[in-house]
Amino acid sequence: MHLAIEAIKLLHERRGIGRYIRNLLPQFAERDASLRFTIYVRRDGDIAPVRALLATLHPSLPERTTVAHARELPRTEADVVWYPWNFITIAAPHRPMVVTILDVAPMLQLDHRWWKWLKRVRFTQRYRHTRHHAAAVLTVSEFSKGEIVRVLGADASRITVTPLAAVHVPVESPDATRPLDEAGITGPFFMTVGGQEGRKNLRTLYAALDELYAKGVRIPLVQCGPGMSSDTRALAGRAPWLHHVGFVSDAELATLYRRAVALVLPSRYEGFGLPVLEAMRAGGAVICADASSLPEVAGEAALQFPWSDASALAAQMLRVLQEPGLRDALVAGGHVQAARFSWATCAADTLACFERAAAQRTARLPQRR
């Protein structure tokens, strides 16, 4: 099979979907020695760097892969075209187009800032175009599959669920303590990871920390991820428990997961919630909301709480601090839960979806006599 990949963001997105592709490509290469690839990039200047990246992922990828400018994508001769970044962008109308849709959060009014409303209108059009033209859809959780059906009206039979994994977390690496050193944290702490849009529900976490501090339980919060929201900026000057450390390396992230009392993920809406698996694999405990895909990913290995209930969250945080053996039990259960997810399984199910899409196209072609 010849697989084309729209990868115009690959060089510039080190995490998120960029990491998803970088984990799947070597698995594809291992599973099928006959696979060929054409990767389409944004600029001619991206061709050489992408070829260099491929060499770091799998030794056979450079010789099996053509890297081309995205302007050539509509004329591709590939059997299947894969769009990993949620939408069909540059269409290849005469080829089966398979799209990975992680979630439909941009279509939902989970954040009421005016520019988010405008973004919702634009993304709704893109999602609907994608649903109409995609031969098949990949997604990462049963929750997201249900949302794609509910919100987009997609055909459930054309959606394949391929859960992610978290092997990128360097569990055997030495401690990398720069974020803790710079924040001056030497004792217990909670942590949270991710962006700060409304669906991440940080207000509930902040209210829980205020409640704990009011009770004399003075445990700081280490917050990793991109820039601060207005709520976070407002707290930065008054909340002694808040330490926003920005982006951290994978080694630093693994250290924080191991050392934290628990990762707290209060999101009300996640397509998958990869930090849950990252923390579990690294040897950390997890407290997460009982919303969207998070129970599906966490299983029985995390403490959960209703996403809007700050007192319930504070109570779960207090349990991990005070109940003997609870954190150790969560860590042990987390190792078992994280081991249920693998990139090998994700890759196998993804390739099977591509093969079905290619076979359906072949079946529709007129037969030569």
Could you tell me the mean pLDDT of each successive run of 10 residues in the chain, 369 residues long? 96 88 96 96 96 96 97 97 96 96 84 66 88 96 97 96 89 89 96 92 96 95 89 85 93 96 97 96 97 98 98 98 97 97 97 96 55
- What pLDDT, on a 0 to 100 scale, did the predictor assign at position 116? 66
DSSP category for residue 244: E
Domain ranges of the chain: 2-165+342-364, 178-338
Quick one: which of 18, 349, 343, 298 has its CA closest to 164?
A: 343
**Can you tell me which residue has the tokens 């290619």?**
358
Give every CB contact of residue 329 below 8 A, 6+ residues apart in sequence: none
Instruction: Provide the whole-model pTM.
Output: 0.92
> Is 2-165+342-364's fold the same as 178-338's?
yes
The SS3 call for residue 81 is: strand
- What pLDDT, on a 0 to 100 scale, did the predictor assign at position 229? 84
Distance CA 250, CA 305 (A): 28
Domain at 178-338, CATH class: alpha beta
CATH superfamily of 2-165+342-364: Glycogen Phosphorylase B; (3.40.50.2000)
DSSP category for residue 229: P
**Can you tell me which residue has the tokens 């599959």?**
145
What is the number of other CB atoms lying within 10 angstroms of the CB of residue 329? 12
Q: Which helix (H) or strand (E) holds 146?
A: helix 142-152
DSSP category for residue 311: H
